[in-house]
Amino acid sequence: MASMGRFTVGSHVWVEDADVAWIDGLVEEVHGDELIINCTSGKKVTANVSSVYPKDVEVKRSGVEDMTRLAYLHEPGVLRNLKSRYGMNEIYTYTGNILIAVNPFQRLPHLYNDHMMEMYKGAEFGELSPHPFAMADRAYRLMMNYGISQAILVSGESGAGKTESTKMLMQYLAFMGGKVESGGRSVQQQVLESNPVLEAFGNAKTVRNNNSSRFGKFVELQFDQNGKISGAAIRTYLLERSRVCQISDPERNYHCFYMLCAAPPEDRERYKLGDASLFHYLNQSNCIKLDGMDDSSEYIATRRAMDIVGISSDEQDAIFRVVAAILHLGNVEFSEGSEADSSVPKDDKSQFHLRTAAELFMCDEKSLEESLCKRVMVTRGESIVRNLDSRAAALSRDALARIVYSRLFDWLVNKINTTIGQDPTSKLLIGVLDIYGFESFKTNSFEQFCINLTNEKLQQHFNQHVFKMEQEEYTKEEIDWSYIQFVDNQDILDLIEKKPGGIIALLDETCMLRNSNHEIFAEKLYQKFKDNPHFSRPKFSRSDFTIHHYAGNVTYQTDLFLDKNIDYAVNEHQDLLHASTCPFVSSLFPPSEESTKSSKSTKFTSIGSSFKQQLQGLLETLSGTEPHYMRCIKPNNVLKPAIFENSNVLQQLRCGGVLEAIRISCLGYPTRRTFEEFVDRFSVLRPEVLGLRYDEVTATNMLLEKVNLTGYQIGKTKVFLRAGQMAELDARRTEVLSYSASKIQRKVRSFLARRNFIQLRMSSVQLQAMCRGQIARHYYEDLRRKAASLKIQTYYRMHFARKNYKDLYSASTTIQSALRGMAARNEFHFRQQTKAAVTIQSCCRSDLASSRYMGLKKAAITTQCAWRGRLARRELRKLKMAAKESGALQAAKNKLEKQVEELTWRLQLEKRMRTDMEEAKTQENKKLQQQLQELQFQSKETKDILRREQENAKTALEKAALVPEIQVDTTHVDKLTAENENLKTLVVSLETKIDETEQKFEEMKKAREELLKKATDAESKINGLTNTMLSFQEKLTNMEAENQLLRQQALLHSRLKTISENTSPKSNSTNGSPLHVEQMVRRNYLIQYLMSPHCLFLCLNLNWSFLPRHLMALLEHPRIMGTSHIQGHPFLRGSMRVWMHL
């Protein structure tokens, strides 16, 4: 393809590189078919034009979503596009209808949520970004619209992400047709929940992947007519049974063996297991434990997954008992027996493991040993027992382990399918195939041979599908494609599987011969296929052979081909395990018709042939469906994100058939462009096509005629170019652009030179003008400096003369003012001293006179105060005695009046009660008698109280004798005494009234009507007396307060008298002296206090008999209060009238 293009100097190209597979560069020289290229890495290389590919410099940095849109569809273009998109976390890319997925080795949850599924639901394929959901949606739509079953083939090498991609596809299909089963879990969930079980028993560590699936899995999702999932089935293919017995370093056996050895102690004791390194089937490799994988927790997780998929605990125990039996069986070693060509267990250790295996299989130990060490041959109706040597016994042991594990794995798959449930009536299904990709290692054995055969068959199916899509594209665009020839890999398939004469047929033939080995098999291959172009014999090798696969040459080592292909169906093994007392083990080996016919025979089974039959069944299933392809790519071998290894990815693209599909496309028209894109890219070749005169088809034809291309075809919407024509168009385009660029460069250089000249000329003129101006400015500056210096000198001389004059003037003025100020201060000090002397003399004389006067005044006042205090105390004692006598009489009177009131109230009550109740007369009379007795008793108590009050008054007078007596007029005292006598007569009259009341009460019994009238009169009197009593109670309260105040004042006068006697000398004063004035003030204050109601009430409270007598004495004493004051005070005259009335 590249040789058809034209490369010129300056062309961007791709050239092969040992480190990065392809590297871009620029053509510097062209010498015929040799190109000198300057690479972007800095080195220069010389390459032939046939090994160089053109580079599209106008492609977007983020790449294109569909690689069929690339201008150049070749290896470096595809590799660069995938790398660019991988760097942008765009891990999915289309190549036509093929989806390429590059494993990101990190979680990208935003790509697989419900929102994304809603976006892709019903969207046209290619409308949105590449995604597994788009492929699943396309398959679902085609199934529903056309009623054709679909299949999605997911392939790739170990670690490329096939299993995760399968989960994404099933997730979307369940989203579109999900149906919840009665158990509560959808079919898709049940299928996904079975993955841990299948991974535990079908996955193992390989060189490239720690969790590699060693079997193919085809998941069928069955749909009803409404598009809902009605059932599912899991079909497994090509389980790698030889791994059970043989592993190479650093690989591992199946995960379940290591999980069981890391189980809890009670489980290990039950199965008599120890560390994994103690078992022959596991310690053939140094890799026992994996980083980041905990076998003990995985064992528990597998148990839990078994519970979910419906495997009971008894069945689980039986499954792991079989797994443990296989491990113990592998530790049984054989040595030569006593007979010729016989074998027996080597030692006690081997015997222990044999016994343990028999216990776990629940079969007879002796029978198990005989089935391993002997063989029964049936010849013409008789059976012959033949001993096996140690090597044959070991092969028999391994065959038993392989067949048991294979049957166990098949049982698990059938159990899972039974749990999920299938729909036998469904006619629509979508199958998802997850199978290992093409493998090529340093050492390739029988497993790689079978895997690569599978990929050759799938590649043929893929090539046919790709060619069919190409035909559909050409038919849609209405172009002629009849001359395009399809290249097939049928020759390679015939080499491997043709009957007779194929590699598998020769292998089976060699296995059936006695005493044959791998060298004999290799010689047969060399002789049979020495002229086959797809087969070769490596140099310096006696038994290896090489097959030229579509993905590359693979050299196989035949050392173990015969051992791995032989799968003896030993009837002794069949009968032994069928007779097991364990129902589970017995069910794994049901009786067959062949064993019934020849009960004691050994049948050879070819694993390669059975493998081919399974593969043929898979292809038949795929042929009945519409295929969709998804290729998974592992970007690096370290399994880390953001690392893209070009050589590794390129090898996977070759193995995955992507480059083969590109090669098929290149046989026809690999470059396809819409008319708009083509005209937009190559319009520079003929600019007039950009006008409105030509449509897109006409413009495209004009451009193609311009470059004289042949072999292209014009479709309905696109132009189809043969391989190399796009490069030729780009070369012509590069020439036009180069010529245009050189012309533009000439114009630009001319413009830049003229612009530089004009700028230089303008700069010189400006420089000259600046120089002249600078000289003129310097001359003017000199003249200005001379004038300025002259002016400065003038002003300096003037300033110096003025300064000298001002200094002289200031000095003379200062001296004169200082002399005058000194004379004035002396005069002021003299006058100030004279005035101070006069002031001191006057103050001294005034102080002496004032001190003599104040001494005399103080002595006079002290003498007057002492005398007045003595007189006041004497009068106060008399007043207190009179007040106490009057108060006692008044209290007695009040009590008697109260008794009268109560009696009157009772009379009124009796009056009312007698009118209502005639029957209670007797009782009421008794009550009145009792009340009368109480009144008499109270009267006696009143007399006693009066007597006690008189005695208390006398004792109070005796105590008050210490206070100086006040001279009181005796006439007033006599009047007060007379008032007391009147009160006593009132009390006597009250007593007589009580007696009269008693008589009236006795008369009332005789005349009730008179009593009622008198009771009415008594009621009105009681009301008046009640009001009077209330007023007297208020007055008595006030008198108590005034009495307290009077006592405090008496105490104060006594203290003043004591102070005056101790401090004041005795002196006499005249009426006009200050002492007389002070006496007048004190007299007025005393008169005002005695005239206040508070003082009157206080006197009433202290003593009834005391108040009138002392008031009269005060009123008649002219020396204390003065006649004018008494006569001019109306309140005092009214008070006297009240007391006279009382």
In a domain, 970, yes or no: yes
d(CA 341, CA 886): 162
DSSP code at position 676:
H
By CB atoms closer than 10 A (0-12, 13-18, 19+), residue 894 is: middle
What would the pLDDT profile of 228-263 be if each residue is shown by its tens digit? 888 888 888 778 888 899 888 888 999 999 999 999
CA angle, corner 13, sides to 8 and 18, nearest 5? 135
pLDDT recorded at residue 1132: 46
Query: Burial letters for 223-255: b for 16+ Cβ neighbours within 10 Å, e otherwise?
Result: bbeeeebbbbbbbbbbbbbbbbbbbeeebbbbb
pLDDT recorded at residue 972: 64
CATH number at residue 32: 2.30.30.520
Beta bridge partners of 626: 150
Determine the longest span between alpha carbons in the chain, in angstroms.
187
* Owner of token pair 């598998």: 504
By CB atoms closer than 10 A (0-12, 13-18, 19+), residue 729 is: buried
In a domain, 673, yes or no: yes
d(CA 300, CA 291): 18
| CA dihedral sign of residues 124, 126, 128, 131 | positive
Residue 158 annotated as part of some ligand binding site: yes
Q: Are 594 and 603 in contact (CB under 8 A)?
A: yes
pLDDT recorded at residue 448: 87
In a domain, 702, yes or no: yes
Give catalytic residues, as residue numbers.
158-159, 163, 209, 212-213, 437, 439
Beta bridge partners of 547: 535, 554
428-434 and 150-155 beta bridge pairing: parallel
Q: Which of 693, 665, 687, 690 is nearest to 676 (CA)?
A: 690
d(CA 96, CA 101): 14
Phi, psi of 102 (to 5 degrees): -100, 125
Residue 159 annotated as part of some ligand binding site: yes
Residue 160 annotated as part of some ligand binding site: yes
| CA dihedral sign of residues 812, 814, 819, 820 | positive
pLDDT recorded at residue 569: 63
pLDDT recorded at residue 186: 66
In a domain, 691, yes or no: yes
Query: Burial letters for 142-152: b for 16+ Cβ neighbours within 10 Å, e otherwise?
Result: bbbeeeebbbb
State how many domains the chain has. Answer: 3
Helices and strands (H and E) in the chain: how many:
35, 26
Q: Are 1108 and 882 in contact (CB under 8 A)?
A: yes
In a domain, 43, yes or no: yes
In a domain, 848, yes or no: no
Q: Are 962 and 1054 in contact (CB under 8 A)?
A: no
Residue after which a domain boundary falls, among 32, 55, 78: 55
CATH number at residue 680: 3.30.70.1590
Q: Which of 109, 64, 67 is nearest to 85 (CA)?
A: 64
Determine if the peptide bond prior to 500 is cis (ω within 30°).
yes
DSSP character string of 70-132? SSS-SHHHHHHHHHHHHHTT--EEEETTEEEEE--SS--GGGSSHHHHHHHTTPPTTTS---H
Which residues form the domain of 23?
Answer: 1-55
pLDDT recorded at residue 3: 41
Phi, psi of 593 (to 5 degrees): -65, -35
In a domain, 1109, yes or no: yes
d(CA 229, CA 171): 12
Phi, psi of 100 (to 5 degrees): -105, 125
In a domain, 958, yes or no: yes
pLDDT recorded at residue 712: 80
Q: What is the dihedral of CA 874, 879, 885, 887, to 10 degrees?
A: -150
Phi, psi of 429 (to 5 degrees): -150, 155
pLDDT recorded at residue 1110: 47
pTM above 0.85, yes or no: no
What would the pLDDT profile of 397-435 be if each residue is shown by its tens digit? 988 999 999 999 999 999 999 888 888 888 899 999 988
Residue 87 annotated as part of some ligand binding site: no
- Using DSSP's 3-state secondary structure scheme, residue 1120 falls into coil
Residue after which a domain boundary falls, among 55, 73, 98: 55
pLDDT recorded at residue 532: 92
- Using DSSP's 3-state secondary structure scheme, residue 18 falls into coil
Where the chain has pLDDT below 50, the residues are 1-5, 180, 182, 595-601, 962-968, 1059-1075, 1077, 1081, 1097-1098, 1100-1112, 1114-1132, 1135-1142
Residue 691 annotated as part of some ligand binding site: no
pLDDT recorded at residue 757: 94
pLDDT recorded at residue 185: 65
Structure token pair of residue 927: 């009550």
Q: Which of 439, 273, 452, 455 is nearest to 356 (CA)?
A: 273
pLDDT recorded at residue 319: 95
| CA dihedral sign of residues 637, 643, 648, 651 | positive
Residue 156 annotated as part of some ligand binding site: yes
Residue after which a domain boundary falls, among 55, 79, 96: 55
